[in-house]
A and B are shown apart, each in its own frame.
Chain A
Amino acid sequence: MSDTPTRDDQDRTGMPDHGMPDHGGPSGPDHLLPDGGPVDQPSADTPARRYTDEQKYQVFNKEFMPHIDSMYNFAFRLTTDEDDANDLVQDTYLKAFRFISSFEQGTNAKAWLFRILKNSFINDYRKKSKEPAKVDYQDVETTYNSEDAESEHTVDLRAESVSDLIGDEVATALNSLPVDFRTVIILCDIEGFTYEEMAKILDIPIGTVRSRLHRARNLLKEKLRDYASSMGYNEESEE
């Protein structure tokens, strides 16, 4: 690991251009960056690994590839389109390989990969998405991020009212949420990431993870309630 050329030679081999991908570079996700801080300098604070080519393929196959189904599911839930999910996963894995020297073996590969995918999605896909992003991250933040009582409430709904919903109906409800609310629910409930991991994947403080989840779930419950009542699943039929 010590006899390879310079970091630059290694990092940039095969890169089409010199620049890091816009916010897509997997700078060590183990380092919790301040909100809105630069996230595109993979080796600024993480010492680059000096992997040999053989080691690169080994890391890629043993640490990255096992997460490909989760990554694909995440990509599909973000884009809600199979072709876009394909492109997004492929781009992410190629980026991951390109920047593999900033990944430290034995650390949380899944979170590292999810972070790259999320950044690629924001930078590359939301822009050229067929249906222009329904809600912009920024808009969502300013609309929902205030700690006012309006956004903090409980949804009047009984567990029994939604217990008959099928997977597709749940997916439709989830898909109707603004993308960053959808994201926290996917990461937490479907992928089982901890709040700390989510904070690193999303580059936001843990407190924001917590409050965004709370709001996301309220929105989801409202959608589920609408769905359940339009489908005729209601409390009357349960009693």
Chain B
Amino acid sequence: MQTSSSLSSSSSDSKPQMKEHCDHQVDCLKMIQLILDGEATDQQLARLKANLVSCQPCIQMYHLEQEVKELLTKRMEKKCCPEQLVATIKSKILTFS
């Protein structure tokens, strides 16, 4: 599949056995989320890197989490505050002091 090729390109020749089943999928998922949130330790980062060349479920989870984050950040509209409200707030605080 095309999605994993970029991540495992360095190993295309030797082809380490790719796990089709992950024994600690929930823990792996939690780690992936920490990494994408920028909250992971170096140790966790290293472990994920290893998983991304050897564990098919981890690769898929990684892509999915990344995709969902992108849907939220890039596709959803960001509402801007109406000008009218900005003006109202500014005028209201002037009457405070």
Taking Cβ atoms with an 8 Å cutoff, the residues of A that contact B are: 13-14, 53, 56-57, 60, 65, 68-69, 71-73, 76-77, 85-86, 89-90, 93-94, 97-98, 152-154, 157-160, 162-163, 165-168, 170-171, 174, 185, 188-190, 194-195, 210, 213-214, 217, 220-221, 224
The answer, yes or no, to whether B29 is at the interface (CB within 8 Å) is yes
Return the chain A residue nearest B62 by Cβ.
A159
In this assembly, does B72 line the interface, its C-beta being within 8 Å of a C-beta of chain A? yes
Q: Are B92 and A13 in contact (CB under 8 A)?
A: no
Per-position binary interface string of chain B over residues 54-89, scored 1 when its CB falls under 8 Å from any chain A CB and 0 otherwise: 000000110111111101110111111110011011
Query: Smallest CB-CB separation from B72: which chain A residue?
Result: A189
**In the complex, are the beta carbons of B33 and A159 less than 8 A apart?**
no
Q: State the CA gap A178–B39 with chains docked (Å).
A: 25
Q: Are the C-beta atoms of A190 and B73 separated by less than 8 Å?
A: yes
Residue of A nearest to B63 (CB): A159
Among A57, A89, A170, A210, contact of B71 (Cβ-Cβ < 8 Å): A170
Question: Which residues of B have CB within 8 Å of A188?
Answer: 37
In the assembly, what is the distance between CA of A14 and CA of B39, in Å?
42
Classify chain B: how many residues form its interface, as a range. 35 or more
Docked CA distance A213–B69 (Å): 12
Contact flag A57-B93 (CB < 8 Å), given A159-B3, A159-B67, A171-B77: yes
Which chain A residue shows the least CB distance to B65?
A217
Give the A-binding residues of B (Cβ under 8 A).
Answer: 3, 25-26, 29-30, 33-34, 37-39, 60-61, 63-69, 71-73, 75-82, 85-86, 88-89, 92-93, 96-97
Are A194 and B39 within 8 A (Cβ)? yes
| The one of B72, B89, B93 that contacts A174, using a Cβ cutoff of 8 Å | B72
Contact of A163 with B79 at beta-carbon distance under 8 Å, contacts A90-B88, A158-B60, A195-B39 already known = no
- Bound-state CA distance A79–B19 (Å) is 44
Q: Is the Cβ of B76 less than 8 Å from the Cβ of A167?
A: yes
A residues less than 8 Å from B76 (CB atoms): 167, 170-171, 174, 190
Chain B residue contacts of A14, Cβ below 8 A: 96-97
Contact A76 B79 (CB under 8 A): yes
